[in-house]
Structure formats: structure tokens, C-alpha cells
Amino acid sequence: MKIALASIFISLFVSLSVTARDPYIPSTWTKGWVMANGIRMHYWRTGGDKPQMLMAHGYSDTGLCWTSIAQELDDRYDIILPDARGFGLTDPPSKDEPVDVQVEDLAALIKELGLKKPILMGHSMGSSSVAWFSARYPAVPKAAILVDPRLVSSGSGFGPRSPEETAKAMADIIKRNNMTYEALIDGQIKNHPEWGITALHFWALSKQLYHPNTAYRSSGDRPSMSELFEKIKCPTLILKADNQGAEREENIKVASILRKGKLVHVEGAGHTVHWDQKERFLAALNPFLKQL
């Protein structure tokens, strides 16, 4: 199975070198750019006169990393898939930006695109931005969906990096940027064949695109999820990894702060819930969406 998938990826890589459009992007989707919060932001959009949904990706990913999920929903929703600051084709961050810059990026993007009561979904880094945005602008989102957010602080956080740590992080990013598509796929498919071709494809492409300036990103002074959840008013679904023991109990405790919240620990899922257990992810997501 793994050998067959690897052969498919190699064939795809060759085809991408001679085609103008990635064959894994549906032909009806369109891409665009907006000036938002002082930067040029890139996004893909599924389109149509439907309820609007914005999906915020995780660290080192791009908007298109949501493709395998967006394809399951684009018959019902007009989905916007932005590249966050420093990722994909969006402008990179600078050294001294405030820690909440991605929150204000979301606010500016929503305003520039004229979105009305969008459903917001975010994974990891994106879930932090969505939660913070929903707390700061509680009247804007129709609902929030948080995919494996860090509900309980580990005590260490990311924190500001020293100059030496920043330099090393930048060098590591450049090293990954320079990895070939084939090497990225070969390394990941051994660990996650369950992700499927589409998710693996866009995961690999994203690793060649994120900017070394993302090493400046800090989360040392971010509010806790408990603080944010006290301010969120919209219906909120949390789709967590299959944590066990004390961590699971702490997740339940923090999630209970939400006024209209629901927490699901997705069986068998790790941090990339939507790829690790796609069917179980959708089985938890779709009933929530239907009742909005």
C-alpha cells in the first residue's frame, strides 16, 4: 500500500511540473488576494451563495491543507481558506509584531471580504486565533470549531526566543523549505498513510512555503483558553485528540466554561484530528453544523 501511494505521489510531482494548476484543487475553487492588517493575504475560496465558513490552518501549514475536509463541505458552504501571516503565499511577519497579530489579521480579512456571520474553524495555531477572535469579537462568528487546541497550558509555552534560538529555528525552517517534495512525502507516508493522498500532498507542499520569520512568533503572553472561553458567546465545538487520564479530565473542565460548548475527544486521533481520523472527525462535525 505504501509503495503504491509513493508511486502515485512521484507521478503527481512530475505532472505538477508541467501543469499550471494543481490537480488536487477543485476546478470550481478560486484564489485571491486582499490587503489586510498591513499585509497582502492570499486565500482560496470555494464560492457560491451559501453560508460562509473560514478555516484557519495550523503552524507550518497553508489554507490548502484543509482541502480534504473542505471538499466534504463545499456543497453546503462557501469556504474561505486563507494562508496565515508567514505561511503559504501570504506576506511574512516582522520581528516586533504583537502576539495577537493573527487575531487582527482574521478580523481584517473578514472585513475586507465582507463576510457575514461566518462559521470559524481552526486547527492548532489556527484554533488559538479562532478562539481569541471569537472572544474579542463575540458578535461576529456564527459558530466556532476548534480542532485540537491547547486547552491546558503545559507551563512552558512558546515564549520569546533568544537570538540564538531564533537563528537556529530560522535555519531549521530553511532546511525544511529545501527538502524535495518526494523526500517530504516519503518521510511522512511511513508514519501517516491514513491521511490519504490529498492531505499528504498539501502537507508536503506547505513545508516548502512557510517563512523563516515565523520563528519570531511568540505565545508567552497569550490569554489562556479558560480566559477566552469566558468571553465566547457563539456555539463552540472542540474536536480534541484522543487524550487520556488527567489531561482528558482537564480538557473536560476547561471546555465546561463555554456557554454553548461541546467537547469531543475523537477516538484514535492525534494532534491532526481531521487527517488521523477523518470519518470520525466528520461524524462529530456534521451534526453540530446541522443544528446551527
- For the chain, what is the largest distance between any 2 Cα atoms, rounded to a whole number of angstroms? 52
206-215 mean pLDDT: 93
What φ, ψ does residue 50 adopt, rounded to 5°?
A: -140, 170
Whichever domain contains 6, its CATH number is 3.40.50.1820
Q: Flag whether 104 is in a domain.
A: yes
220: pLDDT confidence band, cut at 50, 70 and 90? low
Total domains present in the chain: 1
222 vs 142, higher pLDDT: 142
Per-residue pLDDT at 14: 42
Spatial CB neighbours of 2, under 8 Å, sequence gap ≥ 6: 189, 190, 193
Query: How far apart are the C-alpha atoms of 96 and 259, rounded to whole Å?
Result: 35
Q: To the nearest 5 percent, what fractions of the chain are helix, strand and coil?
A: 45, 15, 40
Q: With beta carbons less than 8 A apart as the criterion, state whether 44 and 31 touch.
A: yes
Q: Flag whether 176 is in a domain.
A: yes
pLDDT tens profile 266-280: 999 999 999 999 999
pLDDT tens profile 19-39: 457 889 999 999 999 999 999
Q: Flag whether 51 is in a domain.
A: yes
Distances in Å between the Cα of 290 and the Cα atoms of 60, 152, 269, 286, 287 are 31, 29, 23, 6, 5
Query: How far apart are the C-alpha atoms of 126 and 29, rounded to whole Å?
Result: 22
Q: Flag whether 24 is in a domain.
A: no
Per-residue pLDDT at 1: 53
Spatial CB neighbours of 167, under 8 Å, sequence gap ≥ 6: none
| Strand ordering across the sheet containing 78-82 | 30-36, 39-45, 78-82, 52-56, 119-123, 143-147, 236-240, 261-265
Q: Flag whether 96 is in a domain.
A: yes
Q: What percent of the chain has pLDDT over 90?
A: 81
163 vs 196, higher pLDDT: 196
Q: Flag whether 244 is in a domain.
A: yes
What is the grid cell recorded at 166? 531564533
Q: Flag whether 162 is in a domain.
A: yes
Q: What is the mean pLDDT of the chain?
A: 91
3 state DSSP class of 102 = helix
Per-residue pLDDT at 270: 97
What is the grid cell recorded at 91? 506576506
12-23 mean pLDDT: 54
The sign one gets for the Cα dihedral 108, 109, 115, 116 is negative
Per-residue pLDDT at 217: 76
Per-residue pLDDT at 18: 38
- The one-character DSSP state at 232 is -
What residues make up the domain containing 217?
A: 2-14+31-290
pLDDT tens profile 66-106: 999 999 999 999 999 999 999 999 999 988 889 999 999 99
What predicted TM-score, i.e. pTM, was given to this entire model? 0.92
**Confidence check: pLDDT of 59 > 50:** yes
